[in-house]
Amino acid sequence: MSLVVDLNADLGEGAGHDEALLDLVTSANIACGFHAGDAGTIRASIEAARNRNVAVGAHPSLFDRENFGRKELAVEPAEVFDAVVYQLGIFQAIAEACGVRANHVKPHGALYNMAARNAELAHAVARAVASVDEKLILFAPVNSALARAGEGQNLQIAHEVFADRNYCNDGSLVSRSRPDALLHNPVESAPRVLRMLREGKVRSVDGVDVDVRVETICLHGDNPEAVDFARALRVQLEKEGVRLRAPEFSK
């Protein structure tokens, strides 16, 4: 069986190893200023990705630099819509100035998790993306409110899984407040990722098989071991015949 999948990482967040990650991933989700980054880092990240033929996408967040966009805040759908449109507008303008077409959108942190389960917030995100550019691919977990909202706006969805995160029984990610939230060993992660690709299943922390669909695999770029993790995972995937390629708009 020939398997093709995208490998993405969150970049432009000040982790200090973006260049090395760009040599390993096929898509870059670039912080748009609300949780990290600014106009200069957006431009630099887009240019660095362009020079390596890595697809670029916006990584919009709740406005919360203090908590790196990872704290769930009480927000209204209208606020989410405005925040996402604002960030995408900035990102699209800088990308265009760099001669690059944005390929996708992946909400960051708390916004991603909230939109994955809250239909109103998901609709706000999807409507914002569609209003800016209906050809942007939306990264979202399968069977999530975010994926359904994107489909409702006629957006193309790239279903996402996480190579370096553990899962709960309902398919959500284990909270970062728990010590078992992150996977640190790519040797352990690679068989999990391959099973997700081949069987559409991942084992939760409680030993339950959870249904997944994989079109893009995320690695968190802010982890100190991100580069070693990405390199080892890529080697294992390619050894198993998996081809890495960014998703393409096909509608």
How far, in Å, are 54, 111, 185, 246 from residue 66 at the CA level? 29, 15, 29, 32
How far apart, in Å, do the first and last CA atoms of the chain sit? Answer: 25
pLDDT digit string, tens, across residues 30-73: 999 999 999 999 999 999 999 999 999 999 999 999 999 999 99
Q: What are the residues whose beta carbons fall under 8 Å from the beta carbon of 218, sequence distance 6 or more?
A: 8, 9, 10, 29, 106, 139, 160, 161, 162, 163, 164
- Structure tokens of 143? 């069977």
Q: Give me the architecture of the 3-244 domain, per CATH.
A: Alpha-Beta Barrel (3.20)
Please write the tens of the pLDDT for every residue from 230-249: 999 999 999 999 999 999 99
